[in-house]
Structure 1
Amino acid sequence: MTALARDLYNSIALDRDPDPGSHYVRRRWLVGVFLVIGAVMLGISLRVEPGDTAFYPLTVGMAVVWIVGAFVSGPLRLGAYSPVASRPPDRLGAIGLGTVVGLAVGAAFVVGGLIARMIPGVSDLANQVLAFADYGSLAIVTVITVVNGLAEELFFRGSVYSAARPHNPVLVSTVIYVLVTMASGNVMLGFAGAVLGTVCAILRRSTAGVLAPAITHVIWGAIMVLALPPIFA
C-alpha cells in the first residue's frame, strides 16, 4: 500500500470511529445553539408571502448561520470514496458518487411529483413551497437553494453528524435534520428532509466526509427548483 493510500485509509477509518473527548462537549453546545437559530430563521423565511423580498435576505441569512455554525463548532472532513475495492478512495470518487446519487434522488422526486400533483392535499403542500420560485426570480431562487443545500450539508452532515458520534450519527443527524425542517410547518418539506437526510447521512458514513452528500444535496436542490414548478403549475 502506498503512503497516500495508507493516509487515506487511516483518515477514513479514524473518522468512522467514535471520537470522545472534551472538545465534543463544546461542539455539541455550539451545534445546539446554531440549531435553534437556524430553525427559527427557517420557520420565519418559509412563512413570508411568496414574492415578498424579505424571503431573500432571510434565506441567505439562514445559509450563513449553517456555514458559520459548521466551521465554528469544529473541523470538517471532505471524505473520499472508491467504487473499486482494489483502488484507494479519493476525492474524485466522492464527487462521482455524490453526482450519481444526486441525479438518482432528483429523478425519484420528479417521478414522485408527477404522482403527488394528482393528490389535492399533497399538491397544495408542494405548491406552498414552490410558489417562491413562481413569484420570485428563478435564477436567484436557484442560487439560494444551491447555497443553502451546501450550507445544510456542512452543518448537518458535518457538525451535527460528528457531534452525534458514537450514538448512531446516521439516525441522530437525520432525525435532527427532519425536526429542524419541520420548523417550516410544511409536512412535505419534512418528508423530503427525511428522505434526503437519510441518503446524505449514509453518504457521509460511506465516504467519511461532507463532499459527496453536499454534491448530492446541491444537485437535488437544483432539480427540485427547475423541474417541479412546471409539474405543479
Structure 2
Amino acid sequence: MADPQRDGLLGPGGLVGEVRAFVDAALLHPVERDHTETTAQLRRRRIVVTVTAIAGALALGAALAIRPGDPLFYPATLGVAAIWAVGAFASGRLHLGRAHTRSGGQSRAVLQGFLLGAALLGIFVLGAFVVSRIPVLRGPVEGLLDHARFGSLWIVALVTAINGIAEELFFRGATYAALDRRWNLAGSTVLYAASTLFSGVPLLTFAAACLGLLTGAQRRVTGGVLGPIVSHLTWSLGMLFALPLVFSTGV
C-alpha cells in the first residue's frame, strides 16, 4: 500500500528528489563550452600562475602574522588580494560561466552558488561548536578572530569579501585553467589549501581544502568563476559573523 508521506519525501517531486536534482545541476553535469587555448596561451598562463601562487602564499602568511589591531593588517590583506587578482587577469581570459537549472535551462549560477555556500556554512558552524570546546584547536582560530575583534568588523568584512573574490579569480579562474583537465579540480584545490600553510593555522588549511573542493566542482560544471565567487562570499562572510558568536558560547 502506498505511503503518501514517504512518496512525498522520496518521490521525484519530493525533498530528496529536489535535492538530487539540485546537486546534479550544480555540481555534477558540466555545461558544454569551448575554452580551448593555444600552446603559447597555456604556457603563459602556467608561468603567471606559478609566480603568483608563490608570491601570494608568502604575502598571505605575512599578513596573517600581523598583530591583531595593527592598522597594517588592512593594507597587507588588500595587497594579497591585489596579487591574486593581478595574477588572474594577467594569466589570460577568465569566464563567468553558466550552469544547468533543474528545469533544463541555464543560469549564471548565482542562486546555486548562494545555496551551496550556505550549506557549507551550516556544516562549518556545527563543527565550530566542537572546535570551540577543544583548547588546542580553539587557540589558533581565536587568533584569526582577533583581527575582527580589535579592528572594525565592517572593514574586515569588506576586506574579506575583496579577498574572496580575488582568490576565486585566481584559483578557480587562472589556476584551474592552467592545469591539465584530468587534474584541474584536485590540483586547484590542493594549491589553494597549500597557499594557507604559511598562516600556521591548520584549521584554515582544512577550511580552504573544503571550500576549494566545493568551488572547484562548481568551476568544473559552469566553466567560470561567478558561481564559485558567490559560494565563497556566502561562506566566508557567514563564518566571519557566526564564529565569534559560536566561540562566545564555548567559553
Query: When the two structures are superposed, what TM-score results if normalisation uses the length of structure 1?
Result: 0.90
Q: Which residue of 1 aligns with 2:226?
A: 211
Alignment check: 8 A CA contact 1:156 1:177 kept: yes
Q: Residue 29 of structure 1: which of 29, 47, 52 is its match?
A: 47
**Counterpart of 1:14 in structure 2: which amino acid?**
D
Q: Residue 220 of structure 1: which of 214, 235, 239 is its match?
A: 235
1:178-205 per-residue CA deviation (whole Å, 9 max, x = no partner) reads: 1111121110110101110111100111
Q: Residue 169 of structure 1: which of 159, 178, 184 is its match?
A: 184
What's the RMSD between the two structures over aligned residues? 1.6
1:121-155 per-residue CA deviation (whole Å, 9 max, x = no partner) reads: 11112111111111110000011011101110000
C-alpha distance in 2 between matches for 1:104 and 1:86? 23
1:60-85 per-residue CA deviation (whole Å, 9 max, x = no partner) reads: 11111111111111100100112226
Query: When the two structures are superposed, what TM-score results if normalisation uses the length of structure 2?
Result: 0.84
Q: Which residue of 1 aligns with 2:21?
A: none
Give runs of ≥4 in structure 1 deviating > 4 Å.
none
Instruction: Give the drift of 1:42.
Output: 0.2
After TM superposition, the structure 1 = structure 2 runs for residues 118-133 of structure 1, keeping only pairs within 5 Å, are 118-133=133-148
Q: Which residue of 2 aligns with 1:12?
A: 32
Instruction: Give the drift of 1:167.
Output: 3.8
**Counterpart of 2:34 in structure 1: which amino acid?**
L
Unaligned runs of 5+ in 1: 1-9
Instruction: Give the drift of 1:45.
Output: 0.4
Alignment check: 8 A CA contact 2:31 2:98 kept: no
Instruction: Give the drift of 1:108.
Output: 1.1
Q: Which residue of 2 aligns with 1:152?
A: 167
After TM superposition, the structure 1 = structure 2 runs for residues 1-233 of structure 1, keeping only pairs within 5 Å, are 12-15=32-35, 19=37, 21-84=39-102, 86-87=104-105, 89-91=106-108, 94-233=109-248
C-alpha distance in 1 between matches for 2:153 and 2:134? 26
Secondary structure at the residue paired with 2:96?
Answer: coil
Instruction: Give the drift of 1:119.
Output: 1.1
Secondary structure at the residue paired with 2:227?
Answer: helix
Pick the structure with more helix per residue: 1
Identity of aligned residues (%): 39
Alignment check: 8 A CA contact 1:80 1:209 kept: yes
The number of aligned residues is 219
C-alpha distance in 2 between matches for 1:165 and 1:204? 14
Alignment check: 8 A CA contact 1:42 1:183 kept: yes
Alignment check: 8 A CA contact 1:98 1:216 kept: yes
- Larger radius of gyration between Structure 1 and Structure 2: 2
**Counterpart of 2:164 in structure 1: which amino acid?**
G
Instruction: Give the drift of 1:13.
Output: 2.9
**Counterpart of 2:136 in structure 1: which amino acid?**
G
Instruction: Give the drift of 1:27.
Output: 0.7
Alignment check: 8 A CA contact 1:51 1:135 kept: yes
C-alpha distance in 1 between matches for 2:117 and 2:42? 31
C-alpha distance in 2 between matches for 1:190 and 1:229? 19
